[in-house]
A and B are shown apart, each in its own frame.
Chain A
Amino acid sequence: MSSASERSYTRRDTVMFLVCLGVSLIALFSPAHLGLAVSEALRGTVLAPLVWLQARAEEGRTGRARLHAITVQRDSTSYVAQGLPSLIAENERLRQLLSLSRRLNTPYVAAEVLHQAQATDGRTLLLDVGTRNGVAEFDPVVAPEGLIGVVLNASERSSVVMSWAHPEFRVSAFTVTGNASGVVAPSLLTTGDGALEFRGVPYRDSVPPGTLVLSSGLGGVYPKGIPVGTVTGIVREQTGWERVYRLRPAANPGSAAHVLVLVTPPDVDLARAFPSDSALEAMRLDSIARVRRADSLADAERLARAARAESLAAVRRDTTVARPARRPAATAETARPAAPTPRPAPPPAQPQPPATPSPAGGDSVR
């Protein structure tokens, strides 16, 4: 039998437990914006040193990887610069062809992802950038592979991202071929390859597996052209009404260490920043056409230059074979060849009007 003091102690423990449990349940079922406001206030005050500490640790971890990458890049660059300058030119030309210089020419903020040791880490990500870096709520967050999510809440030095794994995530999307559009949402049934669903696709629109799905720009949050995922199959269909496709996500929020927060207005088309296979093909064809046009222009210029040289040689021959003592100025002007236009040379045996090369005529001949 327990003593009175022990019963009191146990009762106090139970009361404390029930109070904490009750407050937790109230927080759990309170409106989401209240929870976000409390989170933001905590992160900005008592948790600010901890967030700062974790951000420094992430920088330290990724800094080593970045240093290694820079070292490798420097070594390979010096190797190329030493022995293979033609590769540099070819590389530059290929880069120009692929329009890589145009990639991500929109304003963005680079951020480190501060992963937490929680089972729900992939749903919401904590970033080490906030409003002081220009990040605002509803800014899209992307990885090099594609869409990660959207900024749900931004405080001064940190922000919370709702990734595509969050049950409330939605993005308006269309296929890269443009023949089907719908809404992409997380699948509650599967993980990995089928973690997303492409819903609301009209039944008449068939989307083959392997088709890339991009954000459509509708809805005012996500810019057009960000890869969301790739179709892997059909989840379900309602005959005559709609099909729901399974998508393999383009980017994995759980393993993303660096992301870009796009601080661009959402009416910008980002399709060129994320070249898909078809977009790359289109750019390649466009580049080939441009190269052909440039080649034809170069050919035309080369032909014109040859014709000009030929006409100048003819004029030289004329002036050498039949050099008169004097030549009227008007006749000299008529004998002056038009620079780029090829002109047939007169036969050298024919008698020519007397031509004395004047200084002006010499410049033109020269």
Chain B
Amino acid sequence: MNVSRANRLQLALVLSVLVLLHFYVRPRLWSARVSPDFLLMALVFFSMRAGPGAGAVAGFVVGVVTDALTPARFGAGALAHTVVGYLVAWARAVFFADNLAVYAGFVAAALWLRDLVLLVASGTYHSPLLAEVTLYSPLQALTTALFALLILAAFREWFAIRLDL
């Protein structure tokens, strides 16, 4: 088994674990609005590894999944996750900092941006938008970033991340 194939398998395993966490563990945690979004975490990890194009496609797929489960307005989730998948991969190429703090920051920023695009695209304005992007989204970004730190620390060998925080 060559190295790239092993890396792909490792990434697939981590993503599978994250999907399992999202649909089986997250509902057992506290309020859904601030509980970590493992699906977005998986998207960010994949995008940072795979590049902007694949990140956009993965974001589109994740967005369609979220649209099917929460069809506030079909297409809004796909749009938001596509933008996030592309931008995360692009930003990773620009910053190029392989450490836990930057990765966790990417996750938090991606979630906040996702929520902003999602809310605007689904027609949320005024006070609800303000409450979401200033209160709930930062809280969820924080919890997601914390769990992202744990995941990255657990699988740091597979992600080849330095531990210099």
Contact = CB atoms under 8 A, between A and B. Distances in A.
B71 A35 contact: yes
Interface of B: 19-20, 22-28, 31-33, 35-37, 39-40, 51-54, 56-57, 59-60, 63-79, 82-83, 86, 89, 115, 118-119, 121-128, 131-132, 136-137, 140
Contact of B32 (A42, A60, A116, A152): A116
Contact of A61 (B28, B74, B132): B28
A49 to B, nearest CB: 9
Given A16-B52, A23-B78, A57-B25, 13 more contacts: A17-B82, A21-B83, A23-B60, A53-B23, A54-B24, A116-B69, A117-B36, A119-B119, A122-B33, A126-B70, A166-B72, A189-B126, A191-B127
Interface in A109-133: 114-124, 126
22 contacts: A14-B52, A16-B56, A16-B57, A23-B60, A24-B60, A24-B75, A27-B78, A28-B75, A32-B74, A35-B67, A38-B68, A39-B71, A53-B24, A57-B24, A116-B70, A117-B35, A119-B119, A120-B118, A121-B33, A124-B71, A191-B128, A254-B33
Nearest to A59: B27
A160 interface: yes
A4 interface: no
Contact of B73 (A28, A53, A255): A28
Given A17-B86, A57-B27, A61-B27, A39 B74 contact: yes
Contacts, number: 174
A124 B60 CA distance: 20
B27 A121 contact: no
Interface centre among A50, A153, A190 (most CB of B within 10 A): A50
Interface residues of A, number: 59
Contact of A28 (B19, B37, B56, B76): B76
Closest CB pairs A-B (n = 10): A35-B74, A28-B75, A27-B75, A115-B32, A13-B53, A120-B72, A16-B53, A24-B79, A42-B68, A17-B56
